[in-house]
Amino acid sequence: MTNGGKSTLSCSLQQRIPSSCIIAQDTFFKDDSVVPVDSNGFKQYDMLDALDMDQMMSEVNLWQRDPESFLAERGLTTTHTALSAEEKVFVLIVEGFLIFNYRPLNEKMDLRYFMEIPYDVCKTRRCLRVYMPPDPPGYFDGHVWPMYLKNRQEMESMTSGIVFLDGLKSKGELLASVYEDVTQEIERLMGKLPWGEGFCLYNFNTVPIVVDICLGIFPICSSNF
């Protein structure tokens, strides 16, 4: 969903989770000259055809093969220097608006989140943001919202296990909820007992993880590399 708070939550998770990074679907738009145009003259940005999904998958696969090198090549730090390969945890946060509609990417996920907000809130936020190129008159009601409804219906028909998040909740509430799920998924993957009350961020250094946000999340253990 556009303007639902995906990027904010993704960045908050990255700041809290050691050895994590973000791959954002918005950075894989094709050149504007090749984006399809509908019968009303609106650019079809809210379609998979407007995105270079092969390139996005290439980035995800690079991370999967060697997350430590992936971070290093992008100037990002890790916190695993004293740990064995089997103990390291890396988290990839994949954020986007059509990540659950692209099966090859969707199939990699273990945890999936979808941020939703009401029509009126979404429209207000959209109108307050500056886009390049700018939205033409009538673009939200004539294209953005109808495509959201269409893409959501398609997503729900092909994807299960999505956790729907209320985008009107506070940033702190949303972060706490998703962060707790991620830590529990790490524990499950590692076969460890729960840490008990409260989570110590510096005890979070033990497996590689991928977090996707339309939100979606998929952990991957180091033993998979």
- 204 belongs to a structural domain: yes
Extract the tokens encoding 151. 């893409």
3-state secondary structure of 134: coil
CA distances from 206 to 53, 128, 172, 201 (A): 30, 41, 25, 11
- Provide the residue type at 12 as one letter: S
Rounded CA-CA distance 22/16 in Å is 13
Contacts of 190 (CB under 8 A, 6+ apart): 206, 207, 221
User: What is the pairing mode between strands 20-24 and 91-95?
Assistant: parallel
Instruction: State which residues form the domain around 79.
Output: 6-224
Residue 171 pLDDT exceeds 80: yes
- 215 belongs to a structural domain: yes
Residue 79: band (very low, low, confident or very high) from pLDDT cuts 50, 70, 90: low
Beta-bridge partner residues of 113: 163
- 164 belongs to a structural domain: yes
Rounded CA-CA distance 136/104 in Å is 33
CATH number at residue 150: 3.40.50.300
- 1 belongs to a structural domain: no
Question: For position 161, what pLDDT does the model report?
Answer: 85
Q: pLDDT tens-digit profile of 84-137?
A: 444 577 888 889 999 999 999 988 887 888 988 999 999 998 888 877 778 888
- 101 belongs to a structural domain: yes
Q: Are 100 and 199 in contact (CB under 8 A)?
A: no
- Provide the residue type at 132 as one letter: M
Domain count, the chain: 1
3-state secondary structure of 101: coil
Query: How far is Cα of residue 102 from the mean position of the Cα atoms in its chain?
Result: 13
Cβ neighbours, 10 Å, residue 152: 16
Annotated catalytic, 26? yes
Residue 210: band (very low, low, confident or very high) from pLDDT cuts 50, 70, 90: low
3-state secondary structure of 144: helix
Mean pLDDT across the stretch 41-49? Answer: 91
Residue 200: band (very low, low, confident or very high) from pLDDT cuts 50, 70, 90: very low
Percent residues over pLDDT 70 in the chain: 77
